Structure 1
Amino acid sequence: MTVHILCDFDGTITAEDNIIALMKAFAPPEWHAIKEDVLAQHISIRAGVGQMFHLLPSAEKTAYRDYLVGHIQLRPGFVHFLEEVRQNEWQFDVVSGGMDFFVHPILSGHVDPDHIYCNVADFSAETVRIDWPHACDASCTNDCGCCKPTIARRIVNPDDRLIVIGDSVTDFEIAKQADFVYARGQLITLCETEGINYYPFETFDEITHHLKEVPV
């Protein structure tokens, strides 16, 4: 049996959520209400993220990328965790509701681009538009944007042991399908509400230690 790990990016691999950090630095105040509607599940993730990026002028693309690459830090223990993944020959993929223009540069040298699934930002119009190469398939009606269950149906073997690592509502649907979940932030509350078995974490060192203690 193969262990297959699907890991969120924003607020999970990184110490803070990149989209929120970007909005705080560059977006007008309207983004706050959109964010709250997404977190409360009043609007879909795809609709909310699209609306927030629509607030940003495309002309500032370089400033957005440079700001995030320069300010965002990887969560402690992530690099060591990747070494553990490689030593055990576990499969590892990043499934992110973030955007290609910052996900790939931040993960450069750490994760093969072929194992990164994220959204694509289009800067060709006056404001930023989002393309959704991993939108929901016919089995999902949640309008996820980057649909993690859809990705899992494509890349995870049904016989694999699926481990999910995440922190928010964007990870909730795939957490429901996981054999085990490592959770922080809002995902903890959602897992408890749904009765999903999880282990809380703040650093990847905690995940690495737990994986050594508990057979996977």
Structure 2
Amino acid sequence: MSDWTLLCDFDGTISVEDTTDTLLERFGKPGWEKLEDDWKAGRIGSRECMAGQVALLDMSRAELDAHLVERAIDPGFAEFVAYAKAHGMPIEILSDGLDHAIHFILRHYDFDYLPVTANRLEQVGEREWRLGFPNASATCRAKSGTCKCAAAASTQGPRKRVLMIGDGASDYCVAESADFVFAKGKLVDYCRAKNIPHASIRDFAEALALLPALVSGKLVAATRAAAAPLPNAVSA
């Protein structure tokens, strides 16, 4: 059995789209775009951004769930999970998204047994919502609602190795401390800039193809060898 633990982002990684973005585009009142712009410009953290945006959602529970039924996950995720289970590699989902949305979508695809750490979506009126942050940290570098580094710390130990699978800014911190990264989107550029051992993937089919080499140790060894500086040339 493998000693790897797999920590996986949800929105844009397991799910095809960013679920929160699709909700805001469909049910968001005016003003959520300004919060998004402020977050992208670095004027506010993702926790402040998402709290403000969720407060601008105008939807009933029935409308929310009807929307979530339409959300798709990566078609290769099921086979990826099956391989991980067969080789004793636990999968944990770390997300700065909405817990209800994640649990609903996972349940729809029969993955509701996977542990999830995420922000808590709370209904406070017929069409009013707020976001709770049970996994926040005052020291979170990304100012996220869910501090993925704090959550990931509990999985790391002398006999455990961590693979991070993600695509965005909320994954940067974990990527730095993980033993290896499967990176999509902005996370690819970050890993390259920070010289973090990683493999670039487009989907879970590509991630699955890399797992045997990860388990055997060949992938990590090959990546380190490729990143090693060339020896100084010896003059004749």
User: 1:22 aligns to what?
Assistant: 23
User: 1:104 aligns to what?
Assistant: 103
Deviation at 1:130, TM superposition (A): 0.6
Deviation at 1:172, TM superposition (A): 1.1
User: 1:150 aligns to what?
Assistant: 150
Shift in CA distance, 186/103, structure 1 to aligned 2, threshold 3 Å = same
Deviation at 1:158, TM superposition (A): 4.4
Higher relative contact order (CA 8 A, sep 6+): 1
Distance (Å, rounded) in 1 between the aligned partners of 2:52 and 2:103: 22
Contact preservation (8 Å) 2:119, 2:134: yes
Q: TM-score, normalised by structure 1?
A: 0.90
The answer to whether 1:47 aligns with 2:44 is: no
State the one-letter code of the partner of 1:102: A
SS state at 1:13 partner: coil
Distance (Å, rounded) in 1 between the aligned partners of 2:85 and 2:65: 29
Q: Deviations over 1:105-146 (max 9, x none)?
A: 111121415x11111111115631111111116x53542111
User: 1:94 aligns to what?
Assistant: 93
Deviation at 1:87, TM superposition (A): 0.6
Deviation at 1:14, TM superposition (A): 0.5
For these two proteins, the number of residue pairs brought into alignment is 212
Contact preservation (8 Å) 1:2, 1:91: no
Distance (Å, rounded) in 1 between the aligned partners of 2:60 and 2:205: 36
Which ranges of structure 2 fall in alignment gaps of 5 or more residues? 218-236
Deviation at 1:195, TM superposition (A): 2.3
SS state at 2:124 partner: coil
Distance (Å, rounded) in 2 between the aligned partners of 1:184 and 1:206: 11
Q: Is the radius of gyration larger for structure 1 or structure 2?
A: 2
Q: TM-score, normalised by structure 2?
A: 0.83
Which ranges of structure 1 fall in alignment gaps of 5 or more residues? none
SS state at 1:157 partner: coil
Q: How does 1:1-216 map to 2 (within 5 A)?
A: 2-57=3-58, 60-69=60-69, 71-108=70-107, 109-113=110-114, 115-125=115-125, 127-136=128-137, 140-214=140-214, 215-216=216-217
